[in-house]
Structure 1
């Protein structure tokens, strides 16, 4: 009989352990369920806010499109000048690319070199020139 009592006691302890683990799992499941519920509520709020932002952006785009359609067109000469300007910028971009990236000197065409040489000659010929030292000329005595 002692063995039956001991077996019953061990079974009772296992039963208590199982019930304790079950209660713990139930608590964890409830906590997880509450977290999921809160997360779903937050996602719903974020979704609603995104829908409102998207609606506002769509409205702004429609207004911008309407403004563009009703805007007066530029004069053809201005459009022509603008087109030529951007074409020249695109044409010169490869020459200036290294300078604009901070990796080289600015490109100088022949007229720029000639002007620079003329300025240097003028400075060497007239050392008292105001351009040489960067100061304005002195007033003439009266």
Structure 2
């Protein structure tokens, strides 16, 4: 019977040791779980804020779209002029394309380069575009 009681006491101690380690591990697991819960709450708040921003942006875009739809179209004469301009551009584009790409002559037959402006002296560059200063008159 002594051996049985001794075994029983040993099992009880082992059981207490196991329960102590279990409590310790549960406590260690609680810290990361709390951290994850905090992170989830932050993420939920960020998602809600993003949803509100997206809703606001969509509303703003809808307002802009409604304003553009309600805006009056340009006058018919202006639309006609614009169409004629683009037709002219498309008509003359092939003639100008090589010249603009630097591969051909000027389409109007001008062979000489445009005149270049003379270089200015360094001191006069700051006064460019200003009228000349009046000369000082001395009192007589």
The alignment's TM-score, normalised by the length of structure 1, stands at: 0.58
List gaps (5 residues or longer) in structure 1: 100-105, 120-130, 137-142
Taking a change above 3 Å as real, the CA distance of residues 47 and 29 of structure 1, as seen in their structure-2 partners, is same
- C-alpha deviations, 1:24-81, integer Å up to 9, x for none? 22332233222212211121011011100110011112212222x4432315244212
Equivalent of 1:58 in 59, 62, 77: 62
List gaps (5 residues or longer) in structure 2: 120-140
Taking a change above 3 Å as real, the CA distance of residues 11 and 80 of structure 1, as seen in their structure-2 partners, is same
Match of 1:109 in 2: 105
SS at match of 1:115: coil
Match of 1:71 in 2: 74
RMSD: 3.5
Structure 1 outlier segments of 4+, above 6 Å: none
The alignment's TM-score, normalised by the length of structure 2, stands at: 0.59
SS at match of 2:103: coil
Paired residues in the alignment total 113
Taking a change above 3 Å as real, the CA distance of residues 55 and 86 of structure 1, as seen in their structure-2 partners, is farther
Match of 1:12 in 2: 16
Question: How many angstroms does 1:112 deviate by?
Answer: 7.4
- Show the 5 A alignment for 1:116-131: 116=112
